[in-house]
Structure 1
Amino acid sequence: MASATTFYDFKPKDKKGNEKPMTDYKGKVVLVVNTASKCGFTPQYAGLEKLYKDVTAKHPEDFVILGFPCNQFGGQEPGSDDDIQSFCQLNYGVTFPIMGKTDVNGDHADPLFEWMKAEKPGLMGMKRVKWNFEKFLIGRDGKVKGRWASTTKPESIEKNILEEIERKE
């Protein structure tokens, strides 16, 4: 999708395998995270859920987290979409949307991830996602505002999210 200019130009697959238009989130600040159930960073689900609850308590209509399960890093997301949904709810009480299993790198990478990586390359201009739980912050204008590595704890970017929410376009 070379013509894509904003987050809202994409329709990745939801947990049922249907296209989910990102225009559904227009006007919100969105944190996109590639996730996995069997990773050393998996406990970040708890931090993401707390972040989601804390921010939406203050700004109920302005923020969403979208989890994109990915099995490209050490086979750490082997389950089906239904398995993943159950895991997230049972183990971490996740209430934010978990999308369908997604490739974030390579020939079959979802166009949304291709676009985000091009908009906000990682360390030293690296375009690929390095590991599970990498995070991309999308502003209300549909542009990538920030990118953080897997090692960045969700709570440490709350300030960035709130600043983006409070920014008047």
Structure 2
Amino acid sequence: FGIKGPLWFNDPAWSKPSLVLLGIWVMGDIMIIFLAALLDVSREQYEAASLDGANGLQKVRYVTMPSIAPVLLFAAVTGVIAAIQYFTEAAVASSVASGKAVVGQGISTNLGYPDGSLLTYTQWLYVRGFGTYQLGYASALAVLLFVVAALILILLLRRFRAFTPEGAQ
């Protein structure tokens, strides 16, 4: 059409939302797992809930959610782990947007382009460890990343316990 598209990753105001959209775009595989879990919920359970007088929201709360709780937990845990180690997508977007996407050269010179808006925690850790060779500092950042990930996952596990049949009393 001859229309020039927006430079999503070159504008600091739009680069973070574009990176978030890129992260959402790759969630198709977990949607297939959700669909399989929803199709696996027994129709007899829904019929029994209807006979007990449950409305649509009550069926979701008391039939669907407990039935797919393990799948929700799997999706939440893998999603948190993927979000915490979000590196490659931001690194590729930075190098392509900066115009310095050359095979075989280091990527630490253009990480976070433009204006540091695409710099993630794992990229900062990488630059500290392998760009400036501050390995002790990078190791401390990695331990901090592990502690934060462990705390988030422990909170998730405790929260999802309420959706299991044993925890929902």
TM-score by length of 2: 0.26
Quick check: which one's helix share is greater? 2
TM-score by length of 1: 0.26
Tell me which of the two structures has the higher relative contact order, counting C-alpha pairs closer than 8 angstroms and 6 or more residues apart: 1
Quick check: which one's strand share is greater? 1
